[in-house]
Amino acid sequence: MKILLVEDDNSIAVSLVDGLTDAGYAVIRAATGVAAIELEAAETPDVVLLDLGLPDMDGRDVCRVLRGRSRVPIIMLTARSDEFDRVLGLELGADDYVTKPFSFRELVARIRALARRVELDGVPDAASGADAGEQPSGPDGSAAPTGQQIGPLEIDRRTRRVFVSGVEIQLTAKEFDLLAHLARDPGAVSTRTEILENVWDAHWYGPTKTVDAHVAALRKKLGDHRWIEAVRGVGFRLEVPA
């Protein structure tokens, strides 16, 4: 099965090309929208992975052009969930989308699901085995007791609720996972890599500044930036504000 990867970011593209090749796919890559449109015509790939933020064209326009002449399945790679109007993308003819940072396993699961749907799947059981689940099992496991108390902070892993001084705060799924990860060992430093691996899954194809963005959002919701201390050049730790 042949995949056309349209991605201008070299670090992401190289990882993906390597991973997909290892998983048994033939991969061709385009770094611009114009190249994508030419390559799709010349190579007739079985699936297109299409980054939305391209240097020369909007990925949506690339999608529109491809869809205007081809039924090739298209999976959009979007930078943030809020950047992408799912309905619009699907109206343009994309078949699916994944939001960066996504795990390689998740991406392969989507490709396989799509390939199955269009009956293209000639790829041996390579990459991810049986696990096509999109729900990463809680990276922190579920062994931890519910209602962990850290100073005025209470984290209930069972219900995924968080309270500060008894007042519940609303966290996104990733913010909760990040907090739960840091809270496994309050005071201990977690490196960005550890955080990425535990909160975002083992394979990482997104900018590391996503961690910092989530830390910033979490600090804001916790009401005191000192809850999460940045350890310069290393990572972050959770601490009760003095």
Residue ranges that bind Ca ion, judged by CB under 5 A: 8, 51, 53
Least CB distance to Ca ion at residue 190 (A): 28
Q: Specify the residue, 7 or 140, whose C-beta has the smaller distance to Ca ion.
A: 7
User: How far apart are the C-alpha atoms of 34 and 56, rounded to whole Å?
Assistant: 7
Which residue, among 150, 208, 201, has the nearest Cα to 179 in the 3D structure?
Answer: 150
Please state the closest distance from residue 57 (CB atom) to Ca ion, in A: 11
Helix, strand and coil percent figures for the chain, each rounded to 5? 40, 20, 40
Helical segments of the chain, H only: 10-22, 33-43, 59-69, 86-91, 104-117, 173-183, 192-199, 209-222
Residue with tokens 């600090």: 219
Kindly tell me which of 37 and 183 has the beta carbon lying closer to Ca ion. Answer: 37
Q: How far is the CB of 52 from Ca ion (least distance, A)?
A: 7
**Least distance from C-beta 100 to Ca ion, angstroms?**
9
**Closer to Ca ion at the Cβ: 8 or 229?**
8
Nearest-angstrom CA–CA distance, 116 and 103: 20
- CB closer to Ca ion, 8 vs 96: 8
Q: How far is the CB of 19 from Ca ion (least distance, A)?
A: 18
Q: Determine the residue with CB nearest Ca ion.
A: 53
Nearest to 213 by CA among 232, 236, 233: 236
Question: Which is closer to Ca ion, CB of 49 or CB of 218?
Answer: 49
